[in-house]
């Protein structure tokens, strides 16, 4: 029955997968704290005007748009940046700069669903507003690097570019802004031939082609080639210098694996400076990305305010962890189930369960009224570690039975000894 299915491109997250999401989000929150970012919650629904103001055609065309019952045109947020820009120009307008804001939650885009591409997906998002200094761009790269490290992803690589290099070449050769954006979109999709077709001047076409051809593992060599190519393009040269400074800062302050791709472009139109994405070798889809957007806040009617930010795709990070067999990020604390053998000991067993929880242990109580054998079977199946069995005779003597479900061993203990024993077991 179609009513029992989720809407196309949207998913339920259950069991281990839900735990992985919670754990990744918690790690993103911890990263935000480390870097002094404040968490903010903004609505899932925003006015269509706000969301379409500057998102760029790419995203604008993929928004979930509807009219609310009051006739307002609204849409589900396709990203966090527009909402954060709204805050920066309203409630937080007079706050001291830089603003450092973190959010996590779902965003919505009418993408073609496939593995790693959904219509509802989760992002953790960091925005640093009010500074154009390369140390701010560095900070955003360091945040992403720290998050990937904390999550324990192996072999991830940053792909880094700078919109200013491509735009600097195009604008010096008289290509207008709209065509520049169209060219960047083609380049984002690696449709280089189509991109070059939009360029009229042969000289410009040639420079762009040479930029596309620059590749290399060593970022310093790559940057040198770019510098040589754009020596006569004032703005592109300044952009390459800016990129060099950011890379010097990042590589001096952390271990990071990166490649520079000077012709790399990202779909979102609002980028003005450094842009990046992060990948693992096993997956072709980006796990996160970001960049500098110095004119977006202004476009919302605020003061000219430079900004840089990034977003990480939690759904894809979960796939990456699974690919690397590291999906189980959940805590390793031992798990207990308490089983009363008869009705008469139910209250005592429940009290004991509470006592375990009060001591900070994961403890479940047999809730189906099952016989001990069935209850043990179920606990075993669900991967619990120990069963505390409460029987009438044992209880009368002040004892309970504790069964190790993995080793299939059991011991009778006094209730006071139980906590000593559990303390030991919980650390094993
Ligand atoms: P963006 O907001 O486009 O810069 O994307 C940031 C990150 O969100 C990407 O690097 C992906 O990891 C993730 N992402 C983007 N689109 C989707 C999607 N349709 N489904 C799942 N994750 C996505």
Predicted confidence at residue 425, as pLDDT, reads 74
According to DSSP, the β-strands at 157-162 and 288-292 are unpaired
* Ligand 1 nearest-atom number relative to CA 119: 19
Predicted confidence at residue 237, as pLDDT, reads 97
Predicted confidence at residue 270, as pLDDT, reads 85
Short-list 29, 9, 13, CA closest to 21? 13
d(CA 82, CA 156): 28
Predicted confidence at residue 54, as pLDDT, reads 63
d(CA 91, CA 350): 49
* Ligand 1 nearest-atom number relative to CA 286: 10
Residues of the chain with pLDDT under 70: 1, 54-57, 267, 327-332, 426-428
Predicted confidence at residue 332, as pLDDT, reads 64
Annotate 161-201 with DSSP letters as a single string.
EEHHHHHHHHHHTT--HHHHHHHHHHHHTT-HHHHHHT---
What SS3 class is residue 148? helix
Asked whether the bond before 98 is cis by omega within 30 degrees of 0, the reply is yes
**Per-residue model confidence as pLDDT tens digits over 205-256:** 999 999 999 988 899 999 999 999 999 999 999 999 999 999 999 999 999 9
User: Which residue, by CA, sits nearest to atom 17 of ligand 1?
Assistant: 117
What angle is formed at CA 397 by the lines to CA 395 and CA 401, rounded to 5 degrees? 50
8 A C-beta contact, residue 273 and residue 137? yes
Predicted confidence at residue 302, as pLDDT, reads 80
pTM > 0.75: yes or no: yes
Ligand 1: which residues within 6 Å by Cβ?
79, 109, 111, 116-118, 121, 123, 286-289, 311, 313, 315-316
C-alpha 279 – ligand 1 centre gap (Å): 12
Counts for the chain of helices (H) and strands (E), in that order: 17, 16
8 A C-beta contact, residue 258 and residue 157? yes
**Per-residue model confidence as pLDDT tens digits over 364-408:** 999 999 999 999 999 999 999 999 999 999 999 999 999 999 999
């Amino acid at each position: 029955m179609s009513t029992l299915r989720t809407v196309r491109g949207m998913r339920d997250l259950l069991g281990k997968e839900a735990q992985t999401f919670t754990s990744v989000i918690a790690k993103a929150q911890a990263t935000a704290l480390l870097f002094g970012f404040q968490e903010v919650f903004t609505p899932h629904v925003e006015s269509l005007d706000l969301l379409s103001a500057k998102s760029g055609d790419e995203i604008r065309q993929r928004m979930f748009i509807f009219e609310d019952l009051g006739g307002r045109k609204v849409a589900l947020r396709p990203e966090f940046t527009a909402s954060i820009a709204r805050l920066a120009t309203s409630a937080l307008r007079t706050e001291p700069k830089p603003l450092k804001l973190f959010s996590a939650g779902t965003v919505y885009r009418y993408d073609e669903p496939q593995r790693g591409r959904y219509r509802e997906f989760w992002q953790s998002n960091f925005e640093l507003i009010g500074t154009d200094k390369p140390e701010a761009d560095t900070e955003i790269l360091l945040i992403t690097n720290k998050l990937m490290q904390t999550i324990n992803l192996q072999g991830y690589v940053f792909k880094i570019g700078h919109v200013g290099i491509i735009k600097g070449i195009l604008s010096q050769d008289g290509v207008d802004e709209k065509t520049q954006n169209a060219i960047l979109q083609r380049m984002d999709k690696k449709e280089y031939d189509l991109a070059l077709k939009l360029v009229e001047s042969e000289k410009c076409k040639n420079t762009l082609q040479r930029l596309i051809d620059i590749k290399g593992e060593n970022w310093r060599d790559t940057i040198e080639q770019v510098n040589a190519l754009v020596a006569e393009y004032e703005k592109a040269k300044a952009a390459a210098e800016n990129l060099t400074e950011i890379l010097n800062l990042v590589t001096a302050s952390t271990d990071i694996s990166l490649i520079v791709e000077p012709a790399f472009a990202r779909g979102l139109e609002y980028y003005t400076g450094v842009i990046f994405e992060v990948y693992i070798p096993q997956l072709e889809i980006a796990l996160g990305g970001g960049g500098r957007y110095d004119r977006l806040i202004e476009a919302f009617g605020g003061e000219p305010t430079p900004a840089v930010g990034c977003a990480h795709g939690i759904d894809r990070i979960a796939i990456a962890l699974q690919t690397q067999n590291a999906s189980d990020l959940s805590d390793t604390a031992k798990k207990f189930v308490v089983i009363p053998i008869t009705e008469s000991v139910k209250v005592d067993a429940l009290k004991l369960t509470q006592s375990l929880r009060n001591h900070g242990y994961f403890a479940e109580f047999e809730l189906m009224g099952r016989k001990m054998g069935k209850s043990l079977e179920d606990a075993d199946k669900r991967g619990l570690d120990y069963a505390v069995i409460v029987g009438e005779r044992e209880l009368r003597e002040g004892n309970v039975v504790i069964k190790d479900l993995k080793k299939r061993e059991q011991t009778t203990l006094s209730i006071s000894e139980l906590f000593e024993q559990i303390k030991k077991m919980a650390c094993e």
